[in-house]
Amino acid sequence: MNKLEESYAIIGETLSLLAEGGLLSRDLHPDQIKCSLDRDLKSDVFHWMKNEGILSYKASMLDSTLCGAQITSVGIALLQDRTFFDNESIADVIPLEGSGISEDLLIKIGSFVGSTLGGFTKSLG
């Protein structure tokens, strides 16, 4: 898996973890993301997701733990977007127990998120 695919997988797994908690804020530690061992990449993806409006958090610790992480309305819209796969949304295809998601599905989720946000930005113009 190259770094872009690894980034996509981190996006997918992070989104899945946030969806599991609904709107409940929670601490999100890089070790909770199992699809990658690269702590620096996890931290960068977390910050990218915040900058893109997918998640918010109250504070970021030195170990890259996000305190009070919460999915945003943008994150919820991405979860509910029915153009993800055969008229199904991400929320339809991920198990909300936080396990059992294949690496391929995580990469597809992250790629979808990136291209959807990129298409939105491009349409602004």
| pLDDT surpassing 50 at residue 107 | yes
| pLDDT surpassing 50 at residue 87 | yes
**Residue-level pLDDT at 34:** 93
- CATH code of 3-93, in short, is 1.10.10
Interhelix angle 73-80/103-124, nearest 10 degrees: 120
Given the structure tokens 């797994």, which residue do they identify?
A: 13
CA 83 to each of CA 15, 80, 108, 116: distance values in angstroms, whole numbers, following the listed order: 17, 9, 12, 10
Mean pLDDT of 99-114: 86
E strands, the chain, in order: 26-28, 55-56, 59-60, 66-71
Grouping H, G, I as helix, E, B as strand and the rest as coil, residue 70 is strand
List the domain boundaries for the chain. 3-93
Which pTM was predicted? 0.86
**Residue-level pLDDT at 98:** 52
Task: Of 24-28, 105-109, 115-119, give the range with the top mean pLDDT.
Answer: 24-28
Q: CA 48 to CA 85: how far, in whole Å?
A: 24
Name the pairing type of β-strands 26-28 and 66-71: antiparallel
